[in-house]
């Protein structure tokens, strides 16, 4: 019983990431009458902090907290490059051949987490490969 409670508590600590489904306004409060702060681009990865009625409080890759209507969020996972140039490789080995490099703020589709601190990603042009988790935000 104790183990089940511990596992449930641990699962609640897990971060919940989503992506913005379509370009949508971010607000300073959970209301369409609140102050619009900026528009988030489609595909932007966000961390879901709180859900309240038809609204979600989100944290973006810069750490900003904003509110957005839930209807603008997708379950699809994306990550955003947070280093100057992320190296996407053919395998989960730093010595494997380079598939491509992605510059800071490029959004990549998350395909799956891989062992050893790697993730498999897809560029919008269809190229896929592996990069180190430390090179992106949204995991």
Mean pLDDT of the chain, nearest integer: 90
- pLDDT value of position 2: 39
Q: Do domains 14-76 and 79-137 have the same CATH topology?
A: yes
Interval 102-119 mean pLDDT:
96
Beta bridge partners of 100: 88
Annotated domain spans of the chain: 14-76, 79-137
Q: Can you give 73-108 as a three-state secondary structure string?
A: EECCCEEEECCCEEEEECCCCCCCCEEEEEECCCEE
19 sits in which H/E element: strand 16-20
Interval 76-92 mean pLDDT:
96
The tokens for 135 are: 């090179």
39-54 pLDDT, tens digit per residue, is: 999 999 999 999 999 9
CA distance 108 to 38: 22
Domain 79-137 class in CATH = mainly beta
Is residue 76 scored above 60 in pLDDT?
Answer: yes
Q: What is the pTM of this model?
A: 0.83
9-23 pLDDT, tens digit per residue, is: 333 445 899 999 999
- pLDDT value of position 14: 54
Domain 14-76 class in CATH = mainly beta
């Amino acid at each position: 019983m104790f183990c089940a409670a511990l596992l449930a508590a641990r699962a609640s600590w897990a971060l919940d990431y989503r992506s913005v489904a379509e370009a949508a306004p971010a607000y300073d409060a959970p209301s369409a009458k609140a102050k619009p702060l900026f528009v988030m681009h489609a595909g932007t990865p966000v961390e879901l902090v709180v859900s309240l009625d038809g609204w979600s409080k989100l944290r973006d890759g810069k750490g900003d907290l904003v509110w957005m209507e839930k209807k603008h969020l997708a379950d699809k996972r994306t990550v955003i490059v947070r280093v100057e140039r992320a190296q996407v490789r053919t395998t989960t080995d730093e010595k494997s051949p380079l598939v491509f490099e992605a510059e800071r703020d490029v959004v990549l589709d998350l395909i799956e987490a891989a062992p050893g601190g790697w993730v498999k990603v897809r560029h919008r042009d269809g190229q896929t490969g592996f990069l180190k988790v430390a090179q992106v935000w949204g995991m």
